[in-house]
Amino acid sequence: MSYPTKKLGEVCEFQNGLWTGKKPPYKKVAVLRNTNFKNGNGTLNYDDVAEIDVEEKQFATRILNTGDIILERSGGGPDQPVGRVVFFDKVGGKYSFSNFTTRIRSKKERINSKYLWRFLDYFYRTGGTEPMQKKTTGIRNLTFSEYKQIEIPLPPLPEQKKIVKKIEELFGKIDEAQKLREEAQTDATALIPAALHQIFEKGKQKGWKMETLTESCRVVADGTHDTPKYYNSGIPLITSKNLLPDGLSFGNIKFISKEDHNAISNRSGVDKGDILLAMIGTIGNATLVETNDIFSIKNVGLLKPNEKKVLGRYLYYYLDNSRLLSLIETGGTTQKFISLGSIRKIKVVFPPVSEQKKIVAYLDSLSEKAKVLQGLQVQTAEDMKALKQSILHKAFEGELC
């Protein structure tokens, strides 16, 4: 069953937003901006609402009522078309909306405000506003005359209310399922740290020693040298920004000459099984080297484990999950850094190598389980999003109720 349609301009009233006042008297009011659209689900985030002085006369015609819809008329970006809509759900209080937005107020005798919001949000998420946007001086603007021509399926008001109720019931179940999945992902992320805690609590009872890194590793870093010349190819140069929680990133990599590579103090090179520590910027990332590729490092600490005393993979798990690196003393004001001396003072629990092998095997198994759970969470999030879109499609095609 398909519903008759009406143009948006026939069932709504529109009002452009305001900003700072030019003529007194002024009034300080809360003004909602594009930045308050950040929930990503068509609702408003009230954590950072601007309070500004506006003209009382202008404000009088721009007070938001419960059920109003705010349209992003200017803004957007390459991956975010302009045209987002949010539902104003506050009761009481005096809020207005910025000059980059437009208030859409439904004619309640013709269209339910939540029904309208759900439709306009669905229209945006299915790409409806993309052909309506124009880019000027880096800002995307919505062609409002075209937007007002949007055709809206318009069943009778009682039917609209039934549709809204059904959508909210189904979305509520989806959100609850999503919440459970997110909790499962949080649990998955905590698997290895929790396992390490249990392992080391038992280790205390067994008398495992805690020693500094220098007891079991050679701790080095890139030497002091002039900034090398960069090339389109050559020896890859790994810096702190290339050390990510899930491994080495070779994106936006720089290349240096073999001569510059040889001038760096760690001439022995980086070997498989070594551990790299970010020393500048986002400090504390530990990355296990799992390839035999040749590359240089800069602003990176290098741990070369003595395999007779410590397995590289064991040390990686310990450093990456113990939060030791985030707790050690750092320097710098605009950019944080840790010194090689601080790294050398890090203390690590060292069980016998035979015990380390068992720990690594167990943690590898847990890591695989965590990856599976996290992958399921990503897929579930996409499935939930698609399911919501399917529900909305059916709702506005007359197939839901």
pLDDT tens-place string over residues 301-350: 888 998 888 898 998 888 876 555 444 444 555 556 677 788 888 888 88
Percentage of the chain lying above the pLDDT 90 cut: 33
* Residues 105/24, Cβ–Cβ less than 8 Å: no
Above 60 in pLDDT, residue 87? yes
Quick check: do 5-154 and 210-350 share a fold?
A: yes
pLDDT value, residue 329:
47
Above 70 in pLDDT, residue 43? yes
**What confidence tens digit (pLDDT) does each residue in 355-372 have?**
999 999 998 888 888 777
Residue 50 burial (C-beta neighbours within 10 Å; 0-12, 13-18, 19+)? middle
* Alpha-carbon gap, residue 123 to 117, rounded angstroms: 10
pLDDT value, residue 7:
96
Percentage of the chain lying above the pLDDT 70 cut: 89
Q: To 10 degrees, the CA torsion angle through 181, 184, 185, 189?
A: 180
Above 90 in pLDDT, residue 154? yes
pLDDT value, residue 369:
81
159 pLDDT band, cuts 50/70/90, is very high
Q: Where are the domains of the chain?
A: 5-154, 176-208+352-401, 210-350
Q: Could you count the other beta carbons within 10 Å of the beta carbon of residue 347?
A: 13
226 pLDDT band, cuts 50/70/90, is low
Average pLDDT over residues 243-253: 76
Average pLDDT over residues 284-312: 83
Average pLDDT over residues 243-254: 77
pLDDT value, residue 321:
67
CATH number attached to the domain at 210-350 = 3.90.220.20
- Please give the distance of CA 227 from its chain centroid, rounded to a whole number: 33
Average pLDDT over residues 40-69: 90
Computed over every residue of the chain, the mean pLDDT equals 84
Above 80 in pLDDT, residue 376? no
* Alpha-carbon gap, residue 351 to 362, rounded angstroms: 15
* Residues 106/65, Cβ–Cβ less than 8 Å: no
Average pLDDT over residues 192-214: 83
3-state secondary structure the chain: CCCCEEEHHHHEEEEECECCCCCCCEEEEEEECHHHHCCCCCECCCCCCEEEEEEHHHHHCCCCCCCCEEEECEECECCECCCCEEECCCCCCCEEEECCEEEEEECCCCCCHHHHHHHHHHHHHCCCCHHHEEEECCEEEECHHHHCCCEEECCCHHHHHHHHHHHHHHHHHHHHHHHHHHHHHHHHHCHHHHHHHHHHHHHHHHCCEEEEHHHCEEEEECCCCCCCCCECCCEEEECHHHEECCEECCCCCEEECHHHHHHCCCCCCCCCCCEEEECECCCCCEEECCCCCCCEECCEEEEEECCCCCCHHHHHHHHHHCCHHHHCCCECCCCCECCHHHHHCCEEEECCHHHHHHHHHHHHHHHHHHHHHHHHHHHHHHHHHHHHHHHHHHHHCCCCC
Residue 273: C-alpha distances to residues 289, 307, 316, 352 (Å): 5, 9, 9, 18
Homologous superfamily in CATH for domain 5-154: DNA methylase specificity domains (3.90.220.20)
155 pLDDT band, cuts 50/70/90, is very high
Tell me the two tokens of residue 292: 């035999």
* Alpha-carbon gap, residue 257 to 259, rounded angstroms: 5
Q: Which of 373, 381, 371 minimizes the C-alpha distance to 177?
A: 381
pLDDT value, residue 375:
74
pLDDT value, residue 383:
84
Average pLDDT over residues 188-201: 79
Above 70 in pLDDT, residue 136? no
* Alpha-carbon gap, residue 22 to 198, rounded angstroms: 65
* Crossing angle between the packed helical segments 113-125 and 353-396, to the nearest 10 degrees: 120
Most confident of 51-60, 82-91, 257-266: 82-91
Q: What are phi and psi of 293, to 5 degrees?
A: -65, 150
- 302 or 180: which leads in pLDDT: 302
Sign of CA dihedral 226, 232, 234, 235: positive
* Alpha-carbon gap, residue 167 to 385, rounded angstroms: 14
